[in-house]
Amino acid sequence: MNQDSVVIKKISDEIFMNGTAYSNLKYLCKQVGQRLSGSAGAALAVEQTARMLREAGADTVYLQPCMVPQWVRGAKEIGTASLNNGKSMPLNIVALGMSVGTPANGITAAVVEVKNFAELDAMGPDQVKGKIVFYNFRMDPRHINTFRAYGEAGVYRSQGPSRAAALGAIGVIVRTLSPVIDDHPHTGATRYDENQPKIPAVAISTSGAEELSKAIAAKMVKQVYLKTNCKQLEDVLSYNVVGELKGSEFPDEIITVGGHLDSWDLAEGAHDDGTGCVQSIEVLRSLKAIGGRPKRTVRAVMFMNEENGLRGGNKYAEIAKMEGKKFIMALESDAGGFTPRGFGFTANSLQKEKLLSWKPLFVPYGALEFNEGGGGADIGPLRGLGTALIGLNPDSQRYMDLHHATTDVFEAVSERELNLGTVVMTAMVYLVAQYGL
């Protein structure tokens, strides 16, 4: 234990003195920019993170081909509410990812506001048919973990369009999933039910949602006009990027550490999930830099297409199943580059016992919460191989403010917070590489 705390301090010193995660993140955000699956940005990100992995000292760097969906936003969306006093109110909207676009002339219809699905169902087809449904569900600020509030509100983004279409609605406006009131609409994937008509769906900024709601309550809104230009193109070839440090004693026992390389198109995808990618590269670099070689193989993986398809995560697990190696642990960082609070574990009881025994080693770094449940979307498909899944849990207070919005930029990331997160990730990878799991 004492020996381990010395090694972990060495890892920490290396990362804080010579770390490259922050400069790599700057490159990814400023030189590459948005990285939506199938875009030129995503292709450049594949190339550049492969370079970063080589520079980090990976023994081998390779690409795993996978087909990805290609959804494109097109020209800026337009939304307007026409009011009874003859004026019109602009609506601050963005199309939801994977949404169909409106016809060329847009759609114009009366709008009905609901707070939740219960209110929608109570209205029934009589009040919904031919209209635009406005879901105004506010994220519950009472949840201390903002991911919980996000999960509750997220169903309106994912299922809202099809639930409204089932009652005859022709379009949907969803209140942005953010706990703060501001003018930045957040995108994110919606999921159509194949049995319902696909209707255009947009997110409105939280301040816009409040304003629209007030106007509706005052019976001021005559009609709403929406025009979006998004469409789904043919799937295209893309890649996961993998960098490997071969284990010195148990090379066939694989530890995966990763984040997702794709991002939404509205911003630089700094916290979501540029940070997870550059942290994973830094895990490899710092392990190599402190000398020696991990006993077990460490793979840093940049997963493609987490946001709108999970094709990369599924492909990685599909290939893993054929490799005939032991995928003992996978760690994902996809909750922002903020100060680490701890980890969430999805593992069997023996694995959990071992992981918990290491908790004291993380105390000096403030990663104190070792919680049941967790992992990450991209590593989830590995569960079928008995892999222990671990999610890095950073402080969640500010993440949802900028998640999937134009505000998720490099400047929103703190170098020290990013590095501290990398320290605890590397410490966890080091311990599993040393002792197995």
Question: Which residues would be at the binding site for Zn ion (CB under 5 A)?
Answer: 272-273, 334
Of 73 and 271, nearer to Zn ion (C-beta) is 271
* Angle in degrees, 0-180, between the axes of helices 2-18 and 275-289, rounded to the nearest 10: 120
The DSSP code sequence of 320-366 is: HHHHTSEEEEEEE--S-SSPEEEEEEE--HHHHHHHHHTHHHHGGGT
Question: φ and ψ at 241, to 5 degrees?
Answer: -110, 125
Contact of 369 with 424, CB cutoff 8 Å: no
Of 273 and 282, nearer to Zn ion (C-beta) is 273
Helix (H, G, I), strand (E, B) or coil at 144: coil
First to last CA, the chain: 16
Buried b (16+ CB within 10 A) or exposed e, 375-402: bbbbbbbbeebebbbbbbbbbbebbbbb
Closest approach of Cβ 260 to Zn ion, in Å? 6
Of 77 and 272, nearer to Zn ion (C-beta) is 272
Of 24 and 351, nearer to Zn ion (C-beta) is 24
Distance CA 145, CA 79 (A): 32
Of 265 and 272, nearer to Zn ion (C-beta) is 272
Q: How many residues does the chain have?
A: 437
* Residue the block writes with tokens 């009874």: 84
Closest approach of Cβ 243 to Zn ion, in Å? 20
Closest approach of Cβ 65 to Zn ion, in Å? 22
Active-site residue, 306 included: yes
Closest approach of Cβ 334 to Zn ion, in Å? 4
Closest approach of Cβ 403 to Zn ion, in Å? 8
Distance CA 97, CA 202 (A): 9
Single out the catalytic residue among 14, 77, 306, 307: 306
* Residues known to be catalytic: 306
